[in-house]
Amino acid sequence: MKKERTRRQRAILRRNLFLAACTVVLVLLILLIVEVIRWIGGEKAGEKPQDTGSVTSADVTPEQPVADTRPQFVTRGNHTLDATYTELMIVNAKNPLPDDYSIESELVEIDPKYRNNNNVYRIHKNVYPYIQAMVEAAQNDGVDLKVWSPYRSRSVQQTLFQNQVNRQLANGVPADQAEEKAATIVARPGTSEHETGLAADFNRADDAFEKTPMYAWMQEHAADYGFIMRYTREKQPITGVIHESWHYRFVGIYTAQEIKASGLCLEEFVAQKK
């Protein structure tokens, strides 16, 4: 009788152990399946890092911006350039530079092989590699792109402005309007991008530039080196400056490409970013 009870107890114990083992195996199996599904999902997402086409605005909350998968550094000829480096400083008639503004210590001399002017020849040191890469690339394409007028000191800008005022007076523009007219052509001292070392005129600073292969090349490639054509006819009401086919401003590679694609001028682009 006692033996019979012990035997039954052992049978119950074995069954319970068997059930417990089954439960553990089942749980492990479920965990394994979940892991495999997650792994496959991760593999698929990793396969196409650029494919964000399936991401709808409902999927992306402002707290979780889509990661920027563009590389930080890009190769341009012999140069490795930081494509994320950005310069959005606005300098115009409404946003003059402070009177004590000085960038002298940040300037470097542009090698003569990149320029065709010996009077002004310095540029912001951070911008120089982009200028070098761009001029070299144009030269390799058989286009004789050269830097004409990069950085200008306040006093050089003052001289250029006064020369333009004198030209307006000589053309018969009344004395009380000459400065205003001149300012649409040459920026008043303190309001020129040239004083920042971030902008440059190329080859020749007149409308003839627009008819050259250098202009055509710049239209196609300048953004890939971080430069935008800063002053266009249609944006004159915003920039306050006439159409200047020769004046390019460094803003950074990805930023220049964005601005070019947007069709905005720098003032509009910066306002939109805020």
Q: Catalogue the active-site residues.
A: 244
Phi (first) and psi of residue 48, to 5 degrees: -125, 75
Q: Shortest distance, CB of residue 234 to Zn ion, whole angstroms?
A: 18
Question: Which two structure tokens, joined as six digits, stand for 226?
Answer: 């971080």
Q: Shortest distance, CB of residue 194 to Zn ion, whole angstroms?
A: 6
Q: How far apart are CA 120 and CA 110, in angstroms?
A: 9
- Fill in the per-residue mask, 212 to 251: x = in contact with Zn ion (CB under 5 A), - = not in contact: -----------------------------------x----
Q: How many residues bind Zn ion (CB under 5 A)?
A: 2
For the segment 49-88, give every residue that binds Zn ion (CB under 5 A): none
Beta bridge partners of 244: 231
Judge whether 115 and 108 are in contact, CB under 8 Å: no
Q: Of the listed pieces 18-26, 118-126, 196-204, 220-228, which binds Zn ion according to CB under 5 A?
A: 196-204
Q: Of the listed pieces 20-28, 175-183, 198-206, 212-220, which binds Zn ion according to CB under 5 A?
A: 198-206
The smaller minimum CB distance to Zn ion, of residues 168 and 245, is found at 245
Residues 6+ away with beta carbon under 8 Å from 225: 76, 81, 130, 131, 133, 134, 137, 253, 256
Q: Shortest distance, CB of residue 154 to Zn ion, whole angstroms?
A: 15
Q: Which one of residues 121, 133, 145, 201 is an interface residue with Zn ion (CB under 5 A)?
A: 201
The smaller minimum CB distance to Zn ion, of residues 51 and 207, is found at 207
Q: Of the listed pieces 82-90, 165-173, 197-205, 213-221, which binds Zn ion according to CB under 5 A?
A: 197-205
Q: Shortest distance, CB of residue 248 to Zn ion, whole angstroms?
A: 8
Q: Shortest distance, CB of residue 85 to Zn ion, whole angstroms?
A: 21
The smaller minimum CB distance to Zn ion, of residues 227 and 254, is found at 227
**First CA to last CA across the chain, in angstroms?**
89
Q: Of the listed pieces 96-104, 180-188, 201-209, 260-268, which binds Zn ion according to CB under 5 A?
A: 201-209
Judge whether 244 and 199 are in contact, CB under 8 Å: no
- Other C-beta atoms closer than 10 Å to the C-beta of 111 total 13
The smaller minimum CB distance to Zn ion, of residues 84 and 117, is found at 117
Cβ-closest position to Zn ion: 247
The smaller minimum CB distance to Zn ion, of residues 124 and 247, is found at 247
Q: Shortest distance, CB of residue 82 to Zn ion, whole angstroms?
A: 25
The smaller minimum CB distance to Zn ion, of residues 76 and 247, is found at 247
Does position 152 interact with Zn ion (CB under 5 A)? The reply is no
Binding site for Zn ion (CB under 5 A): 201, 247
